């Protein structure tokens, strides 16, 4: 049985992205993290804590949290108020989850899905001896964006970002082991891009070409200097561009950006290619500036914490048949226009932006790239002229080529609540290089419904459970004769009272504290695989949310040490998931559980268990096993070992592999 619930080929790629047609199990990447985003600003703490508890039980790794610059330092320079985050981080870690703080140097409000209004600190606009407008992006429409500080003010504001990060590190140094990643906002919505489709402009959003954002005085001066540096003089610029300018100040961004794009100047004229190259390279330098600042800002207690950055999936205008093709990505600064955008040799235009995290991979901590829109289909002939799914693969391919770890997100909250969205997400993990998932947002997957069911299924099938904890292969053999239609299950974990008294775990409040995280190694048995796919814990509580109907706990598989010819076609565990098994040296009717188990959740390696036979005798009787860490009426097994039991019998064999 294919555990990944997917087809034997990538889902439809409208423009022919090649992928080898192997089984998804053969190609699937294991995720190193499965995260959720917190609300932009938490107001209902009761609901949030309920969602955190659900997320933990699902197997979620961490919660990403926007640490709003304007919320913390809004009162004035160096006036930090961390109270909101003290409380929020405590709630998350108390639920047993890690945190991914996002250094959010952008405004909350004005982007798709924004439900809060937190501007960046107002004092920043008057903090320097330059007009406030010099710190803001100015668009081709003449509008200024107040969402972020312009990259053409990096030389002024990078010190403020560094101070903020240093203050954050000083405040939360004690949480270093609870922080999975530190993500750095590099632009609007926390993404490395220009605000080319944001609310300060009119008619620039999806599915339009966007609007260029390089019309402020500092931006124009930078373009002029860049052109003179490239060609040596104004005469050299005129020669290259076929112009007759008499003053450097005449070097300007497109006066009519609509004509510039629709006529194809960005591709067909040296001026157009140069303008887009400068515009693109300016954003690339900003990305490096921000990451370099983060490396300095987080060089103390967080020096070993992985850093992260995000780029958006701007998927519209990709399949246009006129000169507006790829124009939305160009206006956002993601790609240049002077390379072959149809070639994998250039990453279809993304080689430069992927090259930013690539340039830091020599560091021990590394930098991970996050990319959005994993839930989307291609829709090349629709109004958006979208190649979202193709883009998801293009960027992942380039990340793999440059050795960059890449993780995915859904672009729209609704995408995490549909089967189609999750089919596309799983398809990306099956056939591309994605190594982690962050869901927008926690309420989409921790309040029941399709979102929760599919994310829990994703976690069980794709998350590498050996990350964190102390996961070791653990095998249980339990002898018990059964008849046709009967199956054996076990339940287990740690005794609630013992855990509360001796381990400081309150299993009544958080029942996962007495459960033990597992990942099944055998998903080949057609009967038991549906029960295993949704089985994330060895626990005392029976059916988990996503197990198949009829599960009475953690499912086992019937095995024997020898399959005689008289039984017909030979069945083996490696091929069929049941039957003859090399580790079974004991005989027929030894039911087997083979899992990776988190030994860190046991009592010095020990855990309890008891068997149940469905449609038959049910629970076995009380056990009185000797040499156990505490008194119990159940069997005790050791994590990381082969444990051999018989139902209703106190004897045990514990063997090394």
pLDDT in tens, 551-598: 999 999 999 999 999 999 999 999 999 999 999 999 999 999 999 999
Distance from C-alpha of 203 to C-alpha of 139, rounded to nearest angstrom: 12
Predicted confidence band of residue 504 (pLDDT cuts 50, 70, 90): confident
- For residue 643, is pLDDT > 90? yes
pLDDT score recorded for residue 6: 27
Q: What average pLDDT is seen over the chain?
A: 93
Predicted confidence band of residue 548 (pLDDT cuts 50, 70, 90): confident
- For residue 288, is pLDDT > 60? yes
Distance from C-alpha of 139 to C-alpha of 220, rounded to nearest angstrom: 12
- Check whether 410 is labelled as a binding-site residue: yes
List, in order, residues 6 or more apart from 250 with CB less than 8 Å away. none
- For residue 82, is pLDDT > 50? yes
Question: Quick check: 439 and 445 in contact, CB under 8 A?
Answer: yes
Strands 306-311 and 144-145: unpaired
Is 144 considered catalytic here?
Answer: no
Give ranges for CATH 3.20.20.80 in the chain. 34-210+256-462
Mean pLDDT of 380-404: 97
- Check whether 49 is labelled as a binding-site residue: no
pLDDT score recorded for residue 51: 96
Predicted confidence band of residue 501 (pLDDT cuts 50, 70, 90): very high
List, in order, residues 6 or more apart from 625 with CB less than 8 Å away. 632, 634, 635, 636, 650, 652
The fold for domain 34-210+256-462 equals TIM Barrel (3.20.20)
Q: For the ranges 114-118, 124-128, 302-306, 498-502, which has the lowest average pLDDT?
A: 114-118
Predicted confidence band of residue 111 (pLDDT cuts 50, 70, 90): low
Is 147 considered catalytic here?
Answer: no
- Check whether 273 is labelled as a binding-site residue: no
Pick from 369, 113, 313: which is nearest to 193 by CA?
Answer: 313
pLDDT score recorded for residue 507: 81
Catalytic, out of 140, 144, 147, 191 = 191
- Check whether 209 is labelled as a binding-site residue: no
- Check whether 55 is labelled as a binding-site residue: no
Catalytic, out of 144, 169, 409, 426 = 409
Question: Quick check: 72 and 164 in contact, CB under 8 A?
Answer: yes
Most confident of 14-23, 93-102, 451-460: 93-102
């Amino acid at each position: 049985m294919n555990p990944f619930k997917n087809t034997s080929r990538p889902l439809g790629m409208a423009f022919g992205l090649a992928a080898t047609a192997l089984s998804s199990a053969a190609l699937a990447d294991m995720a190193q993290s499965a995260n959720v985003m917190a609300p932009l600003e938490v107001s209902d703490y009761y609901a949030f804590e309920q969602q955190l508890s659900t997320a933990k039980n699902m197997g979620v790794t961490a919660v990403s949290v926007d640490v709003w610059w304007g919320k913390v330092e809004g009162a004035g320079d160096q006036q930090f108020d961390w109270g909101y985050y003290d409380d929020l981080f405590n709630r998350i870690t108390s639920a047993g989850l890690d945190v991914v703080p996002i250094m959010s140097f952008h405004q909350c409000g004005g982007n798709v899905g924004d439900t809060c209004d937190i501007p960046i600190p107002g004092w920043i606009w008057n903090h320097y001896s330059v007009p406030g407008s010099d710190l803001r992006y100015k668009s081709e429409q003449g509008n200024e964006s107040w969402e972020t500080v312009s990259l053409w003010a990096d030389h002024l504001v990078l010190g403020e970002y560094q101070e903020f990060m240093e203050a954050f590190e000083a405040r939360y140094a004690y949480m270093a082991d609870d922080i999975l990643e530190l993500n750095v906002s590099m632009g609007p919505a926390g993404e490395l891009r220009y605000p080319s489709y944001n609310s300060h402009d009119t008619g620039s959003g999806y599915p339009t070409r966007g609007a260029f954002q390089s019309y402020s005085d500092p931006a124009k001066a930078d373009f002029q200097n860049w052109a003179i540096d490239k060609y040596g003089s104004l005469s050299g610029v005129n020669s290259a561009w076929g112009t007759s300018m008499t003053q450097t100040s005449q070097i300007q961004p497109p006066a009519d950006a609509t004509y510039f794009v629709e006529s194809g100047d960005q591709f067909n004229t040296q001026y157009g290619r140069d303008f887009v190259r400068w515009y693109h390279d300016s954003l690339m330098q900003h990305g490096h500036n921000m990451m370099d600042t983060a490396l300095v800002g987080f060089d103390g207690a967080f020096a070993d914490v992985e850093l992260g950055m995000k780029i958006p999936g701007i998927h519209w205008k990709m399949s246009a048949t006129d000169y507006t093709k790829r124009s939305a990505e160009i206006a956002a600064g993601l790609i240049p226009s002077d390379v072959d955008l149809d070639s994998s040799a250039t990453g279809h235009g993304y080689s430069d932006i992927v090259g930013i995290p690539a340039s830091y991979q020599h560091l021990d901590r590394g930098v991970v790239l996050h990319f959005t829109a994993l839930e989307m289909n291609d829709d090349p002939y629709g109004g958006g002229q979208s190649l979202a799914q193709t883009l998801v693969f293009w960027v992942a391919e380039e990340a793999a080529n440059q050795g960059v770890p890449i993780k995915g997100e859904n672009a729209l909250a609704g995408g995490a609540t549909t089967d189609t969205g999750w089919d596309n997400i799983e398809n990306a993990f099956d056939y591309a290089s994605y190594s982690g998932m962050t869901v927008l947002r926690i309420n989409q997957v921790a309040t029941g419904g399709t979102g929760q069911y599919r994310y829990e299924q994703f976690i069980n099938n794709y998350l590498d459970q050996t990350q964190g904890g102390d996961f070791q292969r653990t095998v249980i053999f339990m002898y018990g004769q059964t008849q046709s239609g009967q199956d054996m299950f076990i339940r287990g974990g740690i005794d609630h009272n013992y855990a509360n008294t001796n381990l400081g775990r309150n299993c009544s409040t958080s029942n996962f504290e007495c459960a033990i995280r597992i990942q099944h190694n055998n998903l080949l048995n057609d009967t038991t695989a549906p029960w295993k796919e949704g089985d994330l814990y060895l626990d005392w509580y029976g059916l988990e949310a996503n197990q198949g109907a009829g599960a009475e706990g953690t499912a086992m598989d019937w095995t024997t040490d020898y399959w005689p010819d008289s039984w017909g076609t030979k069945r083996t565990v490696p091929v069929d998931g049941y039957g003859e098994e090399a580790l079974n040296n004991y005989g027929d009717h030894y039911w087997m559980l083979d899992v990776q188990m988190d030994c860190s959740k046991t009592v010095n390696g020990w855990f309890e268990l008891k068997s149940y036979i469905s449609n038959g005798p049910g629970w076995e009787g009380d056990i009185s096993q000797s040499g156990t860490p505490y008194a119990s009426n159940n069997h005790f097994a050791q994590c990381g070992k082969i444990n051999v039991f018989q139902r209703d019998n106190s004897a045990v064999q514990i063997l090394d592999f």
